Amino acid sequence: MRAAGRPVRIAAGQGFWGDWLEAPYRQVTGGPIDYLMMDYLAEVTMSILQKQKSRDPASGYAKDFVPQMERILPLLVERRVKVTANAGGVNPRACAQAVAAAARQLGLGGKLRIGVVTGDDLLPRLDGLLARGHDLKNLDTGRPLREIRDRVLAANAYLGAAPLVEALRQGADIVITGRVTDTGLTLAPMVHAFGWRADDWDKLAAGTVAGHTIECGAQCSGGNCSVDWQRIPDLANVGYPIVEAHADGGFEITKHPDTGGRISVAGVTEQLVYEMGDPTTYITPDCVADFTTIRLTQAGKDRVRFAGIKGRPATDKLKVSLAYFYGYKAVGTLVYAWPDAYRKAQTADRVLRRRLQDLRLTFDAIHTEFVGADATHGSLATRATRFADLPEVQLRVAVRSREAGPVERFTREIAPLILNGPPSVTGFAGGRPKPEEIVAYWPALIDKDVVEPCVELVDV
C-alpha cells in the first residue's frame, strides 16, 4: 500500500488503440507505480465497436486489451497496481468478463475485483431523448440530429472521473469503462487517493491537466517531439510518462529510469497545446481547467513540475459523441519516376479527371495530392520548392460520395493509367483501391442530469 505522504504514481500504458503493445508491460515492470492508465477510444472507435457488437453481442470492446492484461495480471496482483481503462467501448461488461476469464485461467481467482462503468451509451435511449426535447444539435454546424437520425450508428456521452472513483472506492483493482474522458482515467485515481471533494476545482483542474499531459502516451516524453528531435535519446527504448501526484494538486511528470526519450519543459509544452481550443476554458465533465495558469519547471533530469493550476466549476452539460453513416470514399495512388515526375503525375491527374467527367460520375469531392510535392503543405510548399529534379512523385486521388456507385467506378479508373497514361509509372502492386464506408462524427451536448453512470463489480 501507498505510505501516507508519498505521491501517487499513475503511469500511461496506452495513448490510443493501436499504441505500442510493449508499453503496459514496461510501465508495470520498469519501477514502482500505483496505477496504470490505458486510453483506447478515439472519436470514431465507438462506431466500429458498435458495428462489431451488432454482429456478435459478446464483442464491442477493445480486443487488444485482454491479451495485454493477461500478460501483466499476475504482476498487477503481486505489486498491487490498479488499472483504469476505457477499453470497454460499447460493451464494458463483456470486456470485464473476458478479463475475468483470463484471470481465472492464470489462477488469480479470489484475488481480483473488476469495476465496470456503464451508462454512457445513449443509443438505446436516443429516440426517447429526442422526443423529450434533447435535440442533440451538432456543436459545429448547429444542425439538429433529426436530420441524420436514421443513420446514427453510435451515441455516447463522455463520462467524467466520478464513476471510476466510485468503483475504486468499492475496491475495484481494474476499472473498465465505456466512453469516459481520457483525462478522467488519470484524475480518478487522484480523487480516490486524496479524497478531493467534487468542488475542489483547482485540484480537479490539476488532475485534468495531468491527464491531458499523459493521455497520448509517449507524446509528452519524447515521441513526436519537434523541439531538438535529433538529439532525443534512444526512442527505440522510449519511456512512457508517469504522473507523480500530490494531495495539494501539485504533480510532476517523469518516466522510469533507464528508458529512452526525454521529459523537458519544451516537450511537455508541446503536448499541453495539442488539440487545444480556448486554453482558459478546457471543459471536462469534472471541471473547467485554465491552461493559462500552469507553471512548469524542470525539476530534474526527465522530470517536469506543474504548479499553480486553477479550475472553475464544471458545466451542467456533457459532451456526446455520435457517429453516423455518411457515404463512401476511395483513394487511388500511382508513383511517377524521374525525369519530370511531378509533371507526369499532374498530367495523369488531368487525364483521370477528364475520364471521370466523361463517364458523368459526380462526387461530393475529388481531392488530388502529389505526395513528395504538396501533400502536407499544399501551395506553401510548391511556392518554395523546385520540382524539375524530384526523383519521384506519388499521385494520390481521393473521391467521396453519398452513393457507392460512383466511388466503385472510380476505383476501376486508376489501373488503366498504367498503360494508357503518362510514362514511367509504378507502385500499383496493391491492386485496385477499395471503396470504404465513411462513418462521420457528430459532436453534441446533453444535460448532465439525464445521463446516469452506473458502477458494477465483478469478483474474479
Partner 1 sequence: MRKKASRTVLLLDLAHARSGDKGDTANVGLIALKPAYYPHLVKHVTAARVARHFRGLITGKVERYELPNLNALNFLLHGALDGGGTVSLKTDAQGKVLSTALLRMEIAAPR
| Least Cβ distance, residue 249 to partner 1 (angstroms) | 16
Which of the stretches 178-186, 265-273, 298-306, 345-353 binds partner 1 when contact is defined by CB under 8 A? 265-273
Does the footprint of partner 1 cover residue 142 (CB under 8 A)?
A: no
| Least Cβ distance, residue 98 to partner 1 (angstroms) | 27
Does the footprint of partner 1 cover residue 392 (CB under 8 A)?
A: no
Does the footprint of partner 1 cover residue 275 (CB under 8 A)?
A: yes
Does the footprint of partner 1 cover residue 277 (CB under 8 A)?
A: yes
Interaction mask 418-457, partner 1, x per CB under 8 A: --------------------xxxx-x--------------
| Least Cβ distance, residue 296 to partner 1 (angstroms) | 7
Q: At what angle do helices 182-194 and 162-169 cross, to 10 degrees?
A: 40
| Least Cβ distance, residue 323 to partner 1 (angstroms) | 9
Does the footprint of partner 1 cover residue 31 (CB under 8 A)?
A: no
Dihedral over Cα of 175, 180, 186, 191: its sign? negative
**Residue number with CB closer to partner 1 (125 or 137):** 137
> Which one of 74, 125, 224, 250 is in contact with partner 1 (CB under 8 A)?
224
Does the footprint of partner 1 cover residue 402 (CB under 8 A)?
A: no
**Residue number with CB closer to partner 1 (354 or 377):** 377
Nearest Cα to Cα of residue 373 among 382, 364, 363: 382
**Residue number with CB closer to partner 1 (226 or 420):** 226
On the 0-12 / 13-18 / 19+ scale of CB atoms within 10 A, 200 is middle
Which of the stretches 57-65, 104-112, 129-137, 396-404 binds partner 1 when contact is defined by CB under 8 A? 396-404
Specify the DSSP class assigned to residue 439. E
**Residue number with CB closer to partner 1 (195 or 405):** 405
Interaction mask 349-388, partner 1, x per CB under 8 A: ----------------x-x-x-x---xxxxxxx--x----
| Least Cβ distance, residue 44 to partner 1 (angstroms) | 5
Question: 396: phi > 0 → left, psi -120 to 50 → alpha, else beta; which?
Answer: beta
Which residue type does 251 have?
F
| Least Cβ distance, residue 330 to partner 1 (angstroms) | 9
Does the footprint of partner 1 cover residue 298 (CB under 8 A)?
A: no
CA-to-CA distance for 129 and 125, rounded, in angstroms?
A: 6
CA-to-CA distance for 432 and 413, rounded, in angstroms?
A: 9
193 DSSP β-pair partners = none
CA-to-CA distance for 266 and 367, rounded, in angstroms?
A: 36
**Residue number with CB closer to partner 1 (255 or 329):** 329
> Which one of 108, 266, 299, 457 is in contact with partner 1 (CB under 8 A)?
266
**Residue number with CB closer to partner 1 (93 or 396):** 396
Which residue type does 155 have?
A
CA-to-CA distance for 41 and 44, rounded, in angstroms?
A: 8
Q: At what angle do helices 265-272 and 201-214 cross, to 10 degrees?
A: 100
> Which one of 16, 20, 25, 44 is in contact with partner 1 (CB under 8 A)?
44
Name the grid cell of 226: 519537434
Provide CB contacts within 8 A for 349, sequence distance 6+.
368, 370, 395, 397
CA-to-CA distance for 240 and 16, rounded, in angstroms?
A: 13
> Which one of 122, 272, 390, 460 is in contact with partner 1 (CB under 8 A)?
272
**Residue number with CB closer to partner 1 (55 or 295):** 295
Specify the DSSP class assigned to residue 3. P
| Least Cβ distance, residue 456 to partner 1 (angstroms) | 32
Q: Which of residues 70-109 bind partner 1 (CB under 8 A)?
A: none
CA-to-CA distance for 294 and 208, rounded, in angstroms?
A: 12
> Which one of 242, 398, 444, 458 is in contact with partner 1 (CB under 8 A)?
398
Q: Report how far apart the first and last C-alpha atoms of the chain are (Å, whole number).
A: 21
- Rg (Cα) of the chain, in Å, rounded? 25
Nearest Cα to Cα of residue 148 among 139, 136, 131, 134: 136
Does the footprint of partner 1 cover residue 250 (CB under 8 A)?
A: no
Order of all β-strands in the sheet with 310-312:
282-283, 288-290, 310-312
> Which one of 183, 271, 284, 401 is in contact with partner 1 (CB under 8 A)?
271
Phi/psi at 258 (nearest 5 deg)?
60, 30
